[in-house]
Every structure is written in C-alpha cells, then in structure tokens.
Amino acid sequence: MFLDESLRRIRMLFQGRRFQKELDDEMRLHRELREHQYLEHGKDPEAARREANRRFGNATALKEKSYRTWGWGWLESLMQDLRYGVRAMFRSPALTIVALLSLALGIGANTAIFSFIDTLMLRSLPVKDPAQLMFFGREGESGITDDIASTTLYSYPFFREMQKRNSVFSDVAALLSMWNSIHGTIEGQDAMQPMRVQLVSGSYFPTLGVQAIQGRVLTEADDTTEDDHPVVVVSYAWWKRALASDPAVLNRKLILGTTKFDIVGVAPPEFFGTSVGEAPDMWVPLSMMHSVPPLWDGYKNNFWEAMYLIGRLKPGVSSEQATSNVNLLYQQIIRSFPDADLSARNLGYLQRAHVGLTPMSKGLSSLRRQFSDPLGVLMGITTLVLLIACANIANLLLARSTARARELAVRQALGAGRLRIMRQLLTESLVLALTGGLLGIGLARIADRLLLRMISGGPDLVPIDVSINTHLLLFTFAVTVSTAVLFGIIPAFRSTRLELTEALKDGRGSSSKGSSRSRLGKILIVSQIALSLVLMVGAVLFIRTLVDLNNVDTGFNREGVLRLEIDSNVTGLKSDDPRMIAMFQQIEQRVSVLPGVKAASFASFLFNQGSWSTSIRVLGQSLNDQVNIKHNVVGNGYLATMQIPLLAGRTFGPQDTATSHKVAIISERMAKDLFPADVNPIGLHYYAGYTGTEPKPKEEIEVIGVVKDVKFGSLQERPQYIDYMPNPQHPWGYGTLAVRYTGDFDAISRSVQQAIHSINPRLPISHIGTLDEQVSSTLTYHRIVAQLSAFFGLLAVFLSCIGIYGLMSYMVGKRTSEIGIRIAIGASRASVRWLVLREIALLAIIGVAIGVPVTIATGRLVAAMLFGLHGADTVSLLASVAALLIVALLAGYLPARRAARVDPVVALRYE
C-alpha cells in the first residue's frame, strides 16, 4: 500500500511537466464547459467567462495545491533556491571568484593531504580479516643480525619452531626484512631488467588469505626443502608491465642469478604485499634464498636473523594471551638451539628481551613512520587555511547581506517565513561551497600527483594508491558542508533578524544599527590575523630548518660527484672471488683516467644507504659492546673522490692487499672517544667483528690514518664512529660508484658507462645521478613541509588581506557621509586617512596579541620537526609579526585613501 503510493509519487516526479499540462487541460475544459453553459443560458460572453472563473476559484493556487499533494514541494523550492543561489553567484563575480578560489584551495588542499593520510594511516591491508594479523616485535628494524636477544628479526629455524609450537595463531608467516633488489631476465629475452624480489615463507599467502587471480599462490609445499622449489608468484602490476598481461603467463620462466624459476601464479591487483608504499614485483619461497642474488645462506642457520614474523590470531584469542604464549616459546626456542651462546652476559640480554605483538591490520610502512608527523602538521595547516577562507567568505557574505538587507526585508514583509529565508541563504552558501568542493577535488588530483612526486623524492613514484575513493569523497563532502555551514550560518542569522522598518527605509546606514554587524566582521578579521600569524611563523621556522639542514657541513664535498649503481650479482661471482675484486679495481682505474674525471671509487655506503656495524675492542681499552662502529668498505680513491680531509697518517694504496696485514682509516670522533687520549692512534691496533660474546676477536686491524668526521646516515646526526676498510681485505659486493668530475654531467655519464661496459658489458647500470641529489633527497620531508607551509602561509596572509580590504571598503562606504562632514568642517585628508588606518592597525595588533601565545603553544607541537631551532624562536616570531602588520596596513591603505578622497559635497548631497 505504502509502497504503491511511493511508486506513484516517484513516477509523478519524473512526469512533472506532463502532469502540469494535463492538469491545465483538465481545468481549462472545466471552465469552458461552465462558460458554455452560461452562454446557453443567455448571458453575454464577458459575464459568462467571469462567472465561470468565479465559480472555479483561484486556478493558480489550486494548481499549486494539486502539485503539493504529491509531496514534492520541498524539492521544488530547493531547486528554486539553487537557481537563485547560482544567479546570486553570477551577480557579483569578483566576490564569487575570490570565494571559490579560496574554497577550492582550502578544500583541495585538505582533500589532497587527507588522501595521503587515508592511504598511509587509515586503510586496511587488502587481505582476509586484517584485524587478526599480529606483527612480532616493533617496526623500524631491518637487515641481518646475530643478536641473541633480537625481538623483531628472527631466523628461519626460529620461525619454524614458533609456527609448530604456538597455540594462539592459526598460522604464522615469515618474510625477509629486506628486498632482493636484483636484475634478472625473462626467459626468451636478452635484456636484464630490475626486479624487486620478496622472499617469503610458504605460509605467507595462506596466512594472509590471499588467492591468486591466475595459477596459484605459494604454499607450504614450496617451502619444505632447501633449494629445489624454483617457483615465483608475480605481482599484477609486474605481469601487466613486464609481460604485457600475457595470458600464457604460467608458461613463462624467469632467470634470477643462475636459476630458472617457473611463474606459478599472479597475485590480485590490489595486493601489494604487507608494506604500504613498497610493492615487490614478485614473491619467491624462502627455501630458494640461496639461489636468488645476493645468494643469502641463512635457511638453516639458527642465528641468521633477518626475518619478520606475522601471526594470524585464532578466533577468540586475545592479544595478551598471544603475547604471553609467544614470549614463553621465545625463551624456550632460543635456549634450545644447540649453537646458542648462553654466556652470563647473553642470558642477561635474553632475560630482559620481550617480544611485543603489534597489530598490523594496516600493514607495515616505513613511509608511514616517516610521514605521519609532517602529514599531521600539514593537515593542521590546511585546516587553518580553510578556516581563514571560511572567515573571509563569512565576511564577504556579511557585507553582501547588508547590501541585500532591503531585498530580504521586502520578502519578509511580503510574508516569507524567517526559516524559509534562512534556508534560502544557507542553500546559497551551500551552492558556493559545493562548487568550491568540486573545484577542490579537481585541484586535489593535481596536488596529489605533486605531493606523491615530492614524497618519492626521485624519478620513481612511490607505489601507493592515492586515487579518489569513497572515504575521500565522504571526507570532502563533510568538509564542504561544514564550511558552508561555518561561513553561511552567521550571515543567515544576521540578515533575517532585522528590524523591517529600519531596513526598508532607504539610507546608507547613518543609523547605528550596522555597528554590531561590523563588530562581527572585526572579530572575523582579528581571528584571521591571529591564524595567519600562526601559519607564518610555522612557515618561517620550517624554511629556516630546511636552509640550516642544507647548510650542514657534511664533511665531504657534495658538489661535482656523479654516482651510479651497478648490479655486480649478475656476474654470479661471490664478492670474495679474486676476479670480482679485480673487476672493481679495473673499473675504478679505467674510470679515473677518463678525461674530466679526477677520481673514482666504489663504496659500500656513500650517504644514507644503510650501514653495517659491529662493536670493536681497542687493544688496551676495556670492552663496551654497546658501542657500534660503522664500517665502510671503499676503494683506494675514496677519500680523493669525496674530498674528505686526511688529518693524520696515509690513505689506502696498492700495498693493501688481501694477504697483507689488515688496515683501516678511522674517523676523528672514533679516534677521540675510543682510543687512548694523548696518544697518536696511528699504528695502534683494534679488533673488529667482535660479536659481543667471548673475547675471540675475528681479526686484528692497524690504524693507518685519521680523517675528518662526515655525515653518514643523515644530516641531523651527531658525528659517528666510522672506519674505512680496503675492499681486498673485506670484500664487498659493491653497488655504488662515485666519480669526481669537472665539465658536462651528461658527457661524463656517457663515458663512465662506456668504461664500465668495456670491463663487463653485462653489468646493469642504474640510478645515475649526483651526490648532491642523494644528499638533498634525505631532506624530502623537510622540503615538503617547508614548501607547503610557506605556500599556505602566504595564502593565509593573502586571504586575510582580502578580508581586511573587503571589510574596510565596506566600512568606509558606510561612513561616507560622516567622513564628508568631517572634511567639510575642516578635517585634513591625512587625518581622515589615519582615521581608517588606525582602525586597521588596532585590529591587526589585537590579532597579533592573540596570535602570539597561540603560536608559541603550537610551536611546541612541531618542535620535534625543527633543526637547531625551538618552537618559540624570537627572531622568526618578530619577523612574522612585523611582516603581518605591514601587509595588513597595506591592505587597508586603499580604502583609507578612498576615504580621504571623499568629496564632501557629493557625500552630503546623498544624505
């Protein structure tokens, strides 16, 4: 019954036009028949028509009533309001453009930032029941360790024991904490191509509950015995990109290292692994780790700890139960390994070790750890900008509603309800906001690409999905509607609460009634100035941080160095193979004699490329196994290439070979802190590779030189303990070559690549760039925050200026007659100008007075993101205050000048 009625209603909505026409026809027929009747009764035509109409009643009202019966009246009036709102927008184009632009920027920026927050922090992994997944330990560590009490990185045998013995997980999966970023070939193709391989346990896909869209995923059967399951599951993106979505993908094969792998399946498109922002190209079972370059040998090693563990909780098991079970087993399993070194020291470490389980429904992400702070700050900034934009539009609408006061008064006098008028005004602001929101979404698309590029900090985009989704649309819609309410509600309230007779009287408001209206406007301006101050100081702080970081002395010369990567794994040689060592030396020699090249050297770590560290023991000093030394294996020309000053001793030379006694060059800080004071460290000996167990040093090393401290991992770090070791003595499968050059980068780059290929034509070369780029890429996050906060700071000030200008113009306009009188009775132009400027200055000073404590308070929030400054930096604060005051006065100057030019005769004649 009700359903039928609703159906009829809806049908009616779509046939509105026909409905009107039929009703018209019907009513016309009625009146004509009546008229006809009267004519037959002998009335004259004029009277007949009049009588027929009289008996029929008010046709228009009746038609409207008929229409309202169907219950679509609200829609009708909404459409009317919308039309009216659009017309109103077009009537004052300047106001509309300013309002739309600031709205679009505000909403667009919020949407863009939110899309990153959504992707990195809010979205769940696209796997089955992600809430049941638990990560063993705390995120943030990766690599290989032999630490007896490691609680984040685990060995493969440990994983197997945990999987077998636990009673709280339905399954446990392991994955290598690093990628194998290698070059491999697709069978049937010659060219090597880069491949990012993720080694995972056979239980990885089943634990996550991910199914293949072609073929099958990896299973336990692929991970039973070492080295005889050459199978690989490829990602959807890689299948599309490298194999052009070949439908016969399951017949294709890959050659990684020297082993041929069968492609057995393709992962679903939305699956990117377990780390947000890192999408591997393929997954290979851990049983094959010794076949995939760099040929890790840890499948059976109890203390080759390099694996992350993920468990899926059994239904009904709490995370506390799981934690206690895991920790009980942790102690048992490690102690049960026959090769565990259970010295008193180690037992102490082990006893204190606690495995925390971290929920990982949103996946792992180094990107998230790195960017959650700046994204939060940026979200705050863009919200403030949006608030300023709202205040601005509220001000403009207030000014406009004054101009419309008479129109609204007339409508109220004619009987329009107050609610009806408020609804209309709110609809108008909603139209404005929705248009702004739509523009904002468009803008957000562009901003997203820009931000993604900024975050990626290089030519390869980070593989995260920031496209429009329901989350995002809901967010934007919520923002849009709340802005509309924010800037629309006050003007709507104001303009419907007026004394009709006052407003109906003409006049430019010589009455004092308008003063409360401009008081509201003033409050809005004051808050705009206060918010602008917060944003400006923030921008200044972030920019100074970026500049300071860029000016940090790295200890080496960042300019004039080309750097590139080679993949030496493709040779199939081990790094300690004499042929491999010779190959690196040949490349260094051939490149360094190229014209334009001053020096060239391989290094295991140039800058911010990770580290390899162990504790050491200096002969004659007591042991401190908490101090770790970062080792950098380099070529003989390294110091010359990087221009790191040698403070004492000598550099490496041809005399330092695999068989000669071991030597090292140490950093200044290491010499100062770890070697006996007042003794020249040159010639002293220390033991490296010290494992922290019994004093059984692996090798004795002689110090042959001391160099200036350099930045190793980041620009913010304190001086590090670093030793440099020659490659023949500590063979390293190099990847990075640094070349100091003069002249044209492209020409040098070409000749360097030719030189490398003349030694070995198969070596893949990638990531060609400069050292300077590599250093500044570590500032990505500071750069993003600095650039965006500067942009939004300027935007905020600009919007505030428009606000000040608008309000002052309005007030000058209202006071024209008063000013006219002042001038007529002898006030000078300058004093009139000052009259207006004084008002602006007062507002600006109040705004600043409110803004300063707010700024200092918010400064504390971002203190952790600053470098060498603190939140309440006086210089930044004073500079911002001064700039803001000047800009505010400039914005007010135009209206002030206009006031001073008022012609008293014209002004008074109007009265």
Partner 1 sequence: MKRDEIPPGTLYLLILKALSLHGPLHGYEMANFIQQSSDEILQVEEGSLYPALQRMLLKGWVTAEWGVTAGNRRARYYRLTPAGRKQLTVELSQFERVFGAIQRITQIA
Q: Is 29 in the site for partner 1 (CB under 8 A)?
A: yes
Q: Are 278 and 237 in contact (CB under 8 A)?
A: no
C-alpha angle with apex 637: 633 to 641, nearest 5 degrees?
100
* 868 near partner 1, judged by CB under 8 A: no
Min dist CB 381 to partner 1, Å, is: 54
**Nearest distance, CB of residue 20 and partner 1, angstroms:** 12
Q: Which is nearer to partner 1, 27 or 682 (CB)?
A: 27
Residue with smaller CB distance to partner 1, 53 or 643: 53
x/- letters, 68..97, toward partner 1 (CB under 8 A) = -xx---------------------------
Q: In Å, how far are 59, 67, 79, 146, 676 from 20, measured between CA atoms?
A: 12, 8, 17, 85, 102
699-707 and 663-667: which strand pairing?
A: parallel
Instruction: For the beta carbon of residue 522, count every other beta carbon within 10 angstroms.
Output: 19
CA 667, chain centre distance (Å): 36
Query: Which residue in 16, 50, 56, 759 binds partner 1 (CB under 8 A)?
Result: 56
Quick one: which segment of 20-28, 169-177, 667-675, 728-736 binds partner 1 (CB under 8 A)? 20-28
Q: How far is the CB of 3 from partner 1 (least distance, A)?
A: 11
Comparing CB distances to partner 1, the nearer of 63 and 404 is 63
Q: Which range in 23-31, 43-51, 266-274, 583-591 contacts partner 1 by CB under 8 A?
A: 23-31
Instruction: Mark 764-803 with x for binding to partner 1 (rule: CB under 8 A) and - for no binding.
Output: ----------------------------------------
d(CA 443, CA 111): 9
Tokens of 425: 């005004």
Residue type, 656: D
332 φ, ψ (degrees, to nearest 5): -60, -45
8 contacts partner 1 (rule: CB under 8 A) = yes
Q: How far apart are CA 883 and CA 797, in angstroms?
A: 10
Helix (H, G, I), strand (E, B) or coil at 252: coil
Max CA distance (Å), the chain:
137
Helix (H) or strand (E) holding 359: strand 357-359
The answer, yes or no, to whether the previous bond of 206 is cis (omega within 30 of 0) is no
- Give whichever of 1 and 830 is closer to partner 1, judged by the CB atom: 1
Which part of the chain contacts partner 1 (CB under 8 A), choosing from 1-9, 469-477, 604-612, 879-887? 1-9
Terminal-to-terminal C-alpha distance of the chain = 66
Q: Which stretch binds partner 1 (CB under 8 A): 65-73, 297-305, 495-503, 839-847?
A: 65-73
Question: How would you classify the pairing of strands 629-634 and 613-618?
Answer: antiparallel
**Taking CB under 8 A as the rule, does residue 34 contact partner 1?**
yes
> By CB under 8 A, how many residues form the interface with partner 1?
27
Q: Which two tokens stand for residue 157?
A: 């045998």
Q: Cα separation of 112 and 115, whole Å?
A: 5
Q: What are phi and psi of 636, to 5 degrees?
A: -65, -25
22 contacts partner 1 (rule: CB under 8 A):
yes
The residue range among 24-32, 134-142, 247-255, 817-825 that interacts with partner 1, by the rule CB under 8 A, is: 24-32
Residue 1 Cβ, how far from partner 1 at the closest point, in Å?
A: 8
Stretch that binds partner 1, among 60-68, 506-514, 601-609, 841-849 (CB under 8 A): 60-68
Q: Choose one: 64-72, 167-175, 427-435, 824-832; the region binding partner 1 (CB under 8 A).
A: 64-72
In the complex, what is the shortest distance from the CB of residue 12 to partner 1, in angstroms, rounded to a whole number? 8
Does residue 11 bind partner 1 (CB under 8 A)? no
Q: By C-beta, is 20 or 319 nearer to partner 1? A: 20
Smallest gap from Cβ 423 to partner 1, in A, equals: 25
Q: Does 750 bind partner 1 (CB under 8 A)?
A: no
Tokens of 448: 């997203």
Q: Return the number of other C-beta atoms located less than 10 Å from residue 141's C-beta.
A: 13
- What letter does residue 697 receive in the DSSP assignment? -
* Range in contact with partner 1 (rule: CB under 8 A) among 56-64, 637-645, 769-777, 813-821: 56-64
When binding is defined by CB under 8 A, the residue of 50, 66, 185, 520 that contacts partner 1 is 66
Q: Which of 10, 62, 122, 403 binds partner 1 (CB under 8 A)?
A: 62
Helix or strand run (H / E) with residue 161? helix 156-165
27 lies in the site for partner 1, by CB under 8 A: yes
Nearest to 166 by CA among 138, 188, 136: 136
Q: Note the helical H segments in 499-555.
A: 500-504, 515-550
Q: Which stretch binds partner 1 (CB under 8 A): 5-13, 263-271, 366-374, 711-719?
A: 5-13
For partner 1, which residue of 13, 25, 446, 595 counts as binding (CB under 8 A)? Answer: 25
Tell me which DSSP letter residue 221 carries: G
DSSP state of 123: P
- Compute the distance between CA of residue 885 and CA of residue 533 in angstroms, rounded to an integer: 10
**What is the SS3 assignment for 815?**
coil
- Structural tokens at position 725: 């070791």
* Closest distance to partner 1 from the beta carbon of 25 (Å): 7
Contact present, 398 and 490 (Cβ < 8 Å): yes
Q: Which stretch binds partner 1 (CB under 8 A): 25-33, 111-119, 236-244, 375-383?
A: 25-33
Query: Which of residues 20, 21, 47, 65 is near partner 1 by CB under 8 A?
Result: 65
Query: Which of 24, 694 has the CB closer to partner 1?
Result: 24
d(CA 482, CA 180): 48
Residue number with CB closer to partner 1 (45 or 57): 57
Binding site for partner 1 (CB under 8 A): 1, 4-5, 8-9, 12, 22-23, 25-27, 29-30, 33-34, 55-59, 62-63, 65-67, 69-70
